[in-house]
């Protein structure tokens, strides 16, 4: 069986998410290992006027960097 690179990548992502969900349901997921602080990145709130915006967040201040 052959599959494209994109299909393989999607399979890997889906398997990873399934493992994370299984660990969460079992209560053995170390949440600290899933969180990464980005302390060195300045974050502010601004509108998404400069971005291609869609949905309910358009025109509202949003954290970004």
Domain hosting 17: range is 5-64
- Cα–Cα dist 19/12, whole Å: 11
- Cα–Cα dist 58/65, whole Å: 17
Number of domains in the chain: 1
- Cα–Cα dist 51/48, whole Å: 5
User: pLDDT (tens digit, 9 = 90+) per residue, 26-54?
Assistant: 989 887 777 777 778 776 666 656 666 55
- Segment 14-24 mean pLDDT: 91
* Buried-state track 4-25, b at ≥16 Cβ within 10 A, e below 16: eeeeeeeeeeeeeeeeeeeeee
């Amino acid at each position: 069986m052959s599959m494209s690179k994109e299909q393989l990548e999607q399979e890997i992502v889906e398997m990873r998410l399934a493992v994370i969900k299984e660990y969460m349901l079992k209560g053995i997921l170390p949440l600290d290992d899933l969180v990464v602080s980005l302390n060195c990145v300045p974050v502010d709130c601004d509108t998404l006027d400069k971005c291609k915006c869609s949905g309910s967040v358009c025109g509202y201040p949003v954290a970004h960097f």
